[in-house]
Chain A
Amino acid sequence: MIRLIEKTPCEALLPVTCGALTLREIVGDRVTSVAPLKGQGAKLATALKKLGLGWPAPNTAIASATAAILWTGRDQAFLIGADPEGLDGLAALTDQSDGWARMRLEGPGAADVLARLVPLDLRGFAPGQAARSQLGHMMAILTAPEKGSFDIMVFRSMAETAVHEIHHAMKAVSARAAL
């Protein structure tokens, strides 16, 4: 029997380019929420070290060459790009791979674009940091693949609104830059 057709959250929405700014979709990575079970924190941190990562402190992210784990809330982190091997029994795990639209915003002025939508001071936002905040009226998870670029996660169902709002801000920032 033929396998069901797959669609990505931002299919037909991305990429968009505006001057030197681009917004594209990040697809394919497995995303697992990791929430340490009671008394298992130390063992969990050790198990994550084996994956080349660790347990992230609030507002931080830890990355290896192929995977990352980012703080997403009280006793909660998202493991991205790796299978949650060896974490069974140490943490409550849920598959979040399909629940989020993941986008990368790059180019000069990317921080200015997010300054239109996110109420955080992102000028110094750099790899190793993670933030949960709002993007317009949507809640979002932010990380920095490098300084000045942003990985943005919003609920999958809100992908269209998020793309629309980020694109709108990109156009406004580009128009200002062109003055």
Chain B
Amino acid sequence: MRIAGRGLVDRGTTVGFRFDGREYTGFQGDTLASALLAGGNRLFGRSFKYHRPRGVMTAGSEEPNALVTVGQGARAVPNVRATTQEIFQGLMAQSQNRWPSLGFDAMEVNDLLAPFFSAGFYYKTFMWPRAFWEKLYEPLIRRAAGLGALSGRHNDEPYEKAFAFCDLLVIGAGPAGLMAALTAARAGAEVILADEDARMGGRLLAETEEVGGKPGHAWVAEVLDELGALPNVRLMVRTTVTGAYDGGTFGALERVGLHLANAPADLPRECFWRIVARRAILASGAHERQIAFPLNDRPGIMTAGAVRAYLNRWGVAAGRRVAVFGNNDDAHRTARDLVAAGVEVAALIDVRDDAPQPAGYRLIAGGQVTGTRGRLGLREITVTTPSGEEKIEVDCLAVSGGWNPALHLACHMNGRPAWDEGIAAFVPKPGMVPGLTACGAAAGVMTTAGALADGRRAAEAALSDLGREAAAVDLPQAENGGARIRAFWEVTGGKGRAWLDFANDVTTKDVRLAAQENFRSVEHMKRYTTQGMAPDQGKNSNIAALAVLADATGRAIPETGTTTFRPPYVPVSIAAMGAGGQGAGFAPQRFITSHRASVERGAPMIEAGLWYRPSYFPRPGEKTWREACDREVMAVRQAVGVCDVSTLGKIDIQGRDAARFLDFVYTNTFSSLPVGRVRYGLMLREDGMVLDDGTTARLGETHFLMTTTTAAAGLVMRHLEFVHQAHCPDWDVRMISVTEQWAQFAIAGPRARDLLNSMLLAPLDEGAFPFMGCGGIEIRGVSARLFRISFSGEAGYEIAVPARFGEGLFRDLVARAESMGGAAYGMEALNVLRIEKGFITHAEIHGRTTAFDIGLQGMVSKKKDCIGKAAGERPGLSGPEREQLVGLRPVQPAKGFGAGAHLFEKDAKPVSANDQGYVTSVCWSPTLKTHLGLAFLKNGRARHGEVVRLVDHLRGTDIPCEVVNPVFFDPEGGRARD
């Protein structure tokens, strides 16, 4: 019900929206909650466990009940608090956790079964049979209990992440925060003022009191005008600071487009900020708490401060006939404001016998609310006093059990707050988060005058830390009366459950049961009852729950302690945290220069690290990848193939100690390598396992070019930097990656030289380029580097040109190769070619194999030391008990098998106790017309010729294979030397 002449909404702008399909109107400035309350709607949702009808309880982000789904289809956002969602023209909201409708929910039967659903019910009931838990009970329970659901579809809306920096972050723009921001801003500090509300001002927008002789909201507007005009101030509305992290970093969630009708397509819906602040001030205010009395969860029962906020800020009376129930003077404000607005106040029930006698409404001093009625909304309350019981007809009950400082952020780095007897609440202790100071209500200063002064004080302290002089800022006059609270948590008389945690349906009975079953620690109670584990994270229930626990266990509250608060302060959508990561945004894509040419040829591009490499190049008529792959392999073996090998890491190493450095990082010797020659090298980790392999060319006396595998390029670079900086910093060595500078292509096959010569002005000087030779050449007007190396076993070259020429050279090479009966070849053929030759990749050097295991122990030079040599010589890292690299040929050549299969002795049972090794790489060899595999087999090198049993439990393979030399094809290597 709207009250004429009240509130700060724009009554000139009507906004139409829908809730559960029904049309409503509100005003610009309304939240979904205020507009629905104005429309007479008290029922917002169903509770989590018992499906009890629930209404809005608060007016802020701590709301436990009024969670709705906003939007439709893939763009629907579940669990939006109706108290923070601004309405906009065309807004569509739905209630949650009900079927078939909010008014009639079939699952309400849960409420009748409530006696069975006490804390620990699931743990006790669904113990047996064990397998049923995951398959049957849990899915059923999950379906019945719950919140809103995601659509299960991909949401294409943009979200955003961003960074911000400031001298001072002020969290919350109520009286304390505004005063702090003003003080710091006038002193010239870079200030970010963040507030989660759509409109800054905090409680000053919700109260009728004056500040500096003018209405609170007018004072707020003046301060904001001044702040907004200053270049050193950034005002962030709709921005909830969600977490405090190391180094003065704060997470914050900004609602950017979620409150707009027809938000532009490119406008982010939310932004997740990381704000780095040299100092921070927590001025987050306080949350009013409920009192646990029987059946205190009906729609229409709200916090007293929220009733006031709806009245004063939004011009909405939460009921026609209202009662107030409280234990402090603040509750009386609500009654006074309602009376002043012409709303009927049936009574104020104050638990204090000595409550001040008011004018204008009835006081029931020393009374308690001991019962309520009204299925879908409050209709009646029962009030008990020492003199008897009275039933009062009301449709709204405003409850004030006191205020809890919103100190959550202060606890995010594991600090524990202190109990303040004066306000019966926990308050932050100094230093809980380095650089963060709480002030105002967040620090337990509960008057407006106090908050203003405390905000200024906090800012002055921060300015002093920042080395700035504070400018003079006058304190405006403001309300300075205390709330005179008497701690009161729970009504013990009356019948019916008394809720503590509305969001998770936890009652006082559950907490007492937990204590009775010896879950007496507050941490155990929390987990046993799930109190504080709902989306509101216990903001509305933690203190009351531990007060009940303290009572049940005969301890004081400070002695009982409190659970702590962790980030995030409010729920943060994964879409915001993971912004930019939708689809391919998950990781950068690295494209080779021949990418477009490969895609044009129909090549499926497969990921290799961040790189995309062609899998194979299909030709018309080829139905499977294997057909293309087999053809490409035979093209290399019989004519010539071209393959982009640019993704291999290339590291340029220079300096007078470069050769010595390579001797140190490689197992074999490079100082003896002549200029213009290439050598294969093996690199170990410090622990003796193989790190990587590759070739290194000597381009000059003090200049080398190392190649690494694609996967380990970054790893090797890091390793080299570490070795240089940690082990030999005084050596004259400089290194840098040149992977991106050069596009490099393998040209392999008997006609490789012919292909190359067709592109050169004069035929290649073969004396200058023997097998494992290298040097500069000019190809089609471009200076290139040529290496005569082979990963296929064929005569071959790798040619490198500056990357700008990569695409042109690739297209030219492939066209020429095809005219010679050759082809471009992809990763599949490359893999077959290297398996046929027994060349290893990271399938074999997977981090658990030594040089001995792969049969390259001879490459570990005895004449020098190298990284990993000593550790590699430890017992157990060589010898017959090691699994050693072998080749496998199936006894029947057509029988294929997969990598990951395990090896057993021919007649052994295929169980892990009998395991003899495993397969790392497999292929069909079109050259040898058989399937092949590389494998590690216990004492494998001594077992060539033996038949072993290959079993793949996953794929159901069980075949005999012959153990052979891993070099299946051309074991003498004559073809490459040619």
Footprint of B on A, CB under 8 Å? 1-9, 33, 35-39, 75-76, 91-92, 94-100, 115-116, 118-121, 123, 136-138, 155-162, 164-165, 168-169, 171-172, 174-176, 178-179
Which residue of chain B lies nearest to A40 when distances are taken between CB atoms in the complex?
Answer: B732
The 8 Å CB contact of B160, one of A33, A116, A118, is A116
A98/B589 contact (C-beta < 8 A), A1-B781, A4-B781 known? no
A76/B804 contact (C-beta < 8 A), A2-B780, A37-B656, A121-B165 known? no
B806 to chain A, nearest CB (A): 8
List of B residues within 8 angstroms of A97 by Cβ = 741, 802
Which residue of chain A lies nearest to B274 when distances are taken between CB atoms in the complex?
Answer: A119
Which residue of chain A lies nearest to B801 when distances are taken between CB atoms in the complex?
Answer: A4
Stretch binding the partner chain, chosen from B262-270, B394-402, B826-834, B900-908: B262-270
Chain B 448-480 near chain A by CB (<8 Å), digits 1 or 0 = 000000000000000000000000000000000
Cβ–Cβ contact B267 & A176, under 8 A: yes
List of B residues within 8 angstroms of A161 by Cβ = 588-589
A32 to chain B, nearest CB (A): 11
List of B residues within 8 angstroms of A164 by Cβ = 585
Cβ–Cβ contact A157 & B587, under 8 A: no
A157/B591 contact (C-beta < 8 A), A4-B801, A115-B163 known? yes
The 8 Å CB contact of B588, one of A118, A120, A136, is A136
B23 to chain A, nearest CB (A): 27
List which B247-289 residues lie within 8 A (CB) of chain A.
256, 264-268, 274, 276
List of A residues within 8 angstroms of B114 by Cβ = none
List of B residues within 8 angstroms of A136 by Cβ = 580, 588
Cβ–Cβ contact A115 & B738, under 8 A: no
List of A residues within 8 angstroms of B734 by Cβ = 35-37, 75-76, 91-92
Stretch binding the partner chain, chosen from B119-127, B430-438, B669-677, B807-815: B807-815
List of A residues within 8 angstroms of B113 by Cβ = none
Q: How far is the CA of A76 from the CA of B737 in the complex (A)?
A: 12
A157/B807 contact (C-beta < 8 A), A4-B780, A37-B656 known? no
Cβ–Cβ contact B163 & A118, under 8 A: yes
List of B residues within 8 angstroms of A6 by Cβ = 804-805, 808
Q: How far is the CA of A36 from the CA of B184 in the complex (A)?
A: 47
List of A residues within 8 angstroms of B112 by Cβ = none
Cβ–Cβ contact A178 & B807, under 8 A: no
Cβ–Cβ contact A4 & B742, under 8 A: no
Q: How far is the CA of A162 from the CA of B164 in the complex (A)?
A: 21
The 8 Å CB contact of B592, one of A38, A96, A157, is A157
List which B704-756 residues lie within 8 A (CB) of chain A.
730-732, 734, 736-742
- Listed by A's residue number, 10 A-B pairs whose Cβ atoms lie within 8 Å are A37-B655, A37-B734, A92-B655, A92-B736, A94-B736, A136-B588, A159-B591, A171-B266, A172-B267, A172-B268
A95/B736 contact (C-beta < 8 A), A6-B808, A38-B656, A158-B589 known? no
Q: How far is the CA of A171 from the CA of B157 in the complex (A)?
A: 13
Which residue of chain B lies nearest to A91 when distances are taken between CB atoms in the complex?
Answer: B734
A37/B732 contact (C-beta < 8 A), A98-B742, A119-B274, A157-B592 known? yes
Cβ–Cβ contact B267 & A4, under 8 A: no
Cβ–Cβ contact B803 & A168, under 8 A: no
Q: Would you call B117 an interface residue if the criterion is a C-beta within 8 Å of the partner chain's C-beta atoms?
A: no
List which B574-603 residues lie within 8 A (CB) of chain A.
580, 585, 587-593
List of B residues within 8 angstroms of A178 by Cβ = 264
Which residue of chain B lies nearest to A100 when distances are taken between CB atoms in the complex?
Answer: B740
Cβ–Cβ contact A95 & B802, under 8 A: yes
The 8 Å CB contact of B741, one of A2, A95, A168, is A95
Q: How far is the CA of A81 from the CA of B809 in the complex (A)?
A: 26
Cβ–Cβ contact A92 & B654, under 8 A: yes
Cβ–Cβ contact B782 & A3, under 8 A: yes
List of B residues within 8 angstroms of A168 by Cβ = 158, 580
A115 to chain B, nearest CB (A): 5
Q: Would you call B359 an interface residue if the criterion is a C-beta within 8 Å of the partner chain's C-beta atoms?
A: no
Q: How far is the CA of A157 from the CA of B161 in the complex (A)?
A: 24
List of B residues within 8 angstroms of A1 by Cβ = 759, 761, 780-781
Q: How far is the CA of A7 from the CA of B605 in the complex (A)?
A: 21
A172/B158 contact (C-beta < 8 A), A8-B804, A98-B802 known? yes
Cβ–Cβ contact B732 & A3, under 8 A: no
A116/B264 contact (C-beta < 8 A), A3-B781, A37-B656 known? no
B838 to chain A, nearest CB (A): 31
List of B residues within 8 angstroms of A36 by Cβ = 734
List of B residues within 8 angstroms of A116 by Cβ = 160-163
Which residue of chain A lies nearest to B809 when distances are taken between CB atoms in the complex?
Answer: A4
Q: How far is the CA of A92 from the CA of B165 in the complex (A)?
A: 38
Chain B 158-175 near chain A by CB (<8 Å), digits 1 or 0 = 101111110000000000
Q: How far is the CA of A99 from the CA of B649 in the complex (A)?
A: 13
List of B residues within 8 angstroms of A7 by Cβ = 593, 804, 806-808
The 8 Å CB contact of B738, one of A99, A157, A171, is A99
List of B residues within 8 angstroms of A39 by Cβ = 732
**New A-B pairs, 16, CB < 8 Å, besides A6-B805, A95-B741, A155-B590:** A6-B804, A7-B806, A9-B803, A33-B736, A35-B736, A36-B734, A38-B731, A39-B732, A92-B655, A92-B736, A94-B652, A99-B739, A99-B741, A119-B163, A137-B587, A175-B267
Cβ–Cβ contact A98 & B803, under 8 A: yes
A156/B781 contact (C-beta < 8 A), A115-B162, A136-B580 known? no
A62 to chain B, nearest CB (A): 20
Interface centre among A4, A8, A96, A155 (most CB of B within 10 A): A4
Q: How far is the CA of A1 from the CA of B780 in the complex (A)?
A: 6
List of A residues within 8 angstroms of B807 by Cβ = 5, 7
List of B residues within 8 angstroms of A155 by Cβ = 590, 740
Cβ–Cβ contact B740 & A156, under 8 A: yes
Chain B 134-171 near chain A by CB (<8 Å), digits 1 or 0 = 00000000000000000000000010111111000000
Q: How far is the CA of A179 from the CA of B801 in the complex (A)?
A: 49
B826 to chain A, nearest CB (A): 18
B846 to chain A, nearest CB (A): 25
Cβ–Cβ contact A99 & B740, under 8 A: yes
A158/B781 contact (C-beta < 8 A), A92-B655, A118-B163 known? no
Chain B 752-780 near chain A by CB (<8 Å), digits 1 or 0 = 00000001010000000000000000011
Q: Would you call B839 an interface residue if the criterion is a C-beta within 8 Å of the partner chain's C-beta atoms?
A: no
Cβ–Cβ contact A115 & B160, under 8 A: no
The 8 Å CB contact of A165, one of B266, B580, B803, is B580
Q: Would you call B419 an interface residue if the criterion is a C-beta within 8 Å of the partner chain's C-beta atoms?
A: no
